Structures are given as C-alpha cells and as structure tokens.
Amino acid sequence: MGGNALQRDYQKGTIEEQERNTFKTLENLVFLVENNYRLVITHGNGPQVGDILLKNDAGESVYNIPQMPLDICVAGTQGEIGYMIERILRNVLNKHGLHRNVITIVSQVIVNHKGKAFKNPTKRIGRSYPKDMIRELERTKGWKFKSELKAENGFRRVVPSPEPVDIMNKDAIKQLAMKDNIVITAGGGGIPVYIDNKNNVRPVEAVIDKDFASALLAVSIGARELYFLTDVPYVYLNYQTPDQKIAEFLDYNDTRKYLEQNMFGEGNMKPKIEASLYFIERGGEKSVITEATRLKNKKYGSRITMFYD
C-alpha cells in the first residue's frame, strides 16, 4: 500500500483522514480474501516519518527533548500504521462476514552498511533548513544536506537509501501467512539494520526503498503475485509528455527494454518497475501496478501485468 493509500497530497494528514483512506483501500482487498488469497501487506510511511522528524525538531528547540534517531522513527511509524491497518482491516472483514487473524510485525531489514548508497546519500527527509543553520547541524549532529529546489535558500537533510539485503523474521512471516493469517510487515521499507562482526544487530541512519523491500519480501516468502497500490490506474510510458502512452499489459522483455530506454518516471514509477522485474526474475508469476479501486476490474484490463517468459 503506497503512501497515497493512507494520506492524500491535498490532505492535512489527520488520523480521521488516514483512517477513511485506509478503510476505502482495504475494501478493495476483500475479494482477494474471498478467493482464498494468503495476504502479506506492506505500506509506505513517508508523510508519517516526516511528521515525526518535525516533532523531533520542535521538541528539541522548545523543550530540549533529545531527538530520536531515524531507525526509531521508522519503528514508531511501523507500529502506528500497522495498528491502524490491522484494526481497520478487522472491521472491513467483519463488515463482509469474513474472519482472518491479522498480525502486525515490526520488521528489521538488513542492508549493506558499507555499500555505495552510504557514500552518496540522496534521500531527502525532514524539513528545509536555511543555509545559516546547516553548518551547525553538520558539526553537532554529523548530518549531510543538499539544496531543496522547491524552497528558496532551503536545504534538506539527506540520508542513504540502500537496497535491502535480507528480511529478518521472513520465515515466521511465511509460516503465519501459510496458516491463513494476514500479516502486515516491512512498513516503510523496514527498519534499516546491519549485522556486525560479533553477530549483533546494529541500526543505521537510512531509508530503505519500500518497493524493493516489498519485492525482496515477496521473493523471500515464495509469493506468486506482487501488487503495488499507487495513485494512478496505469503505468505510462513517457509520463506527462506529449508522447505519453498507457502501458496496460507488458511482458518481461518489453518492460526491460522500456526501462533501458528511460521511458518510466524516474522518481515515481521507475522504482516499482525495477522492483517488479526483480520479483519476476526470481520466480514471481506476475506483478501488478495500479490503484486499489482497479484491482477487481478485469473486464477493462485496468492493471499492468508482467509475465515471466
């Protein structure tokens, strides 16, 4: 479930808004449960983590409350969003006379903490800071910044965005799902951690790509189908250009060709396409990218499906 499934761009992000959005999204998954699908749900958390970082700033500047590191912020949003999805999904199932156990797992995801992503942080997080503040923050907190084009004289903190390497508790997730429990996990790409030379789990300041984390989880548990619920009904080639074209059904080879020709949006659709290809290359049967309301609409073919061939 992408961020739009929880919070729309034009909304304030109140809990009432998020609950209504979540209910509407989850209503579209009922037919999967009715058809005996075993579901594992992942979700975005960008707006929610952004809000926590703003609260961190406010608490530190006004009340001298120490800021929490990014891994704790991700864990917190996994818990709160997982709880919201779990509670509302139980109500949706109850409405339709269905019963499944719904379980939220706050998940840690292993990354390569010495990989190239840590040499060139690119993921912007948090608020914009004026230039006269960032030198002090770089000195006292070790943060790194890049200019923010949308904000005049603004700079935003950047952190690494590494690809996930392994999902902790993947075996438990699979076992729960295979016993017909609906599992909510790997929210926001998961909490980024690594294993040190003493085999201890250590956190890192990073944001994992949630699309790749979902694809890795799907492969790790042997899922047959992978669904990305986003805010557009189709995948487009050359999106928002005069040559824009709907790509309703694509096979693996055509998708790879279009990707190499840079015909997918760099900041929005491309990561989902790459994650879909990763899934198909490792045995997945199909990957679907669409908005939730279109999932059941097979008559008009309102989804993009990639078949392995």
- The residue that leads in pLDDT, 302 or 198, is 198
What pLDDT, on a 0 to 100 scale, did the predictor assign at position 8? 79
What are the pLDDT digits (tens) for 20-68?
999 999 999 999 999 999 999 999 999 899 999 999 999 999 999 999 9
Task: Reply yes or no on whether 189 is catalytic.
Answer: no
Domain boundaries, the chain: 1-114+166-222, 123-159, 224-309
Q: Give the model's pLDDT for residue 232.
A: 80
Is there a catalytic annotation at residue 4?
A: yes
**How confident is residue 83, by pLDDT bands cut at 50, 70 and 90?**
very high
- Which two structure tokens, joined as six digits, stand for 223? 């899922």
Question: Which residue among 4, 21, 45, 56 is the active-site one?
Answer: 4
State the pTM of this model.
Answer: 0.92
Ranking 91-95, 113-117, 233-237 by mean pLDDT, the lowest is: 233-237
pLDDT at 249: 84
Tell me: pLDDT of 251 over 90.
no
CB half-sphere exposure, 134, CA atoms < 13 A: 17
Q: Report which of 247, 239, 232, 233 is spatially closest to residue 306, judged by C-alpha positions.
A: 247
Of 169, 167, 171, nearest to 190 (Cα)? 167
pLDDT of 250 over the 80 cut: yes
* Catalytic residue (choose from 123, 146, 270, 286): 123
Q: What percent of the chain has pLDDT over 70?
A: 94
* pLDDT confidence band for 301 (50 / 70 / 90): very low
User: Residue 5 pLDDT > 60, yes or no?
Assistant: yes
**210 classed as catalytic:** yes
235: buried, middle or exposed (CB in 10 Å: 19+, 13-18, 0-12)?
Answer: buried
**Across-strand partners of 235?**
247
What's the pLDDT score for residue 307?
A: 41
For the structural domain made of 1-114+166-222, what CATH number should be given? 3.40.1160.10
* Residue 7 confidence (pLDDT): 81
Instruction: Grade residue 150 by pLDDT with cuts at 50, 70 and 90.
Output: low
Q: Which of 20-24, 53-57, 191-195, 292-296 has the lowest mean pLDDT?
A: 292-296
Of residues 178, 181, 208, the one with CA closest to residue 49: 208
Strand ordering across the sheet containing 154-159: 123-130, 154-159, 144-148
Mean pLDDT score across all residues of the chain = 91
What lies within 8 Å, CB to CB, of 258 at 6+ separation is 237, 247, 250, 264
Catalytic residue among 2, 3, 82, 189: 3
Q: What is the pLDDT of residue 304?
A: 43
28, 174, 272, 284: which is the annotated catalytic residue? 272
Which of 10-19, 83-92, 113-122, 160-169 is predicted least confidently?
10-19
d(CA 279, CA 106): 23
Identified catalytic residue from 126, 170, 189, 210: 210
Residue 149 has pLDDT above 80, yes or no: no
pLDDT, greater one: 137 or 305: 137
E strand intervals along 78-176 = 102-104, 108-111, 123-130, 144-148, 154-159, 164-167
Q: Does the pLDDT value for residue 267 go beyond 80?
A: no
CA–centroid distance for 119 within its chain: 23
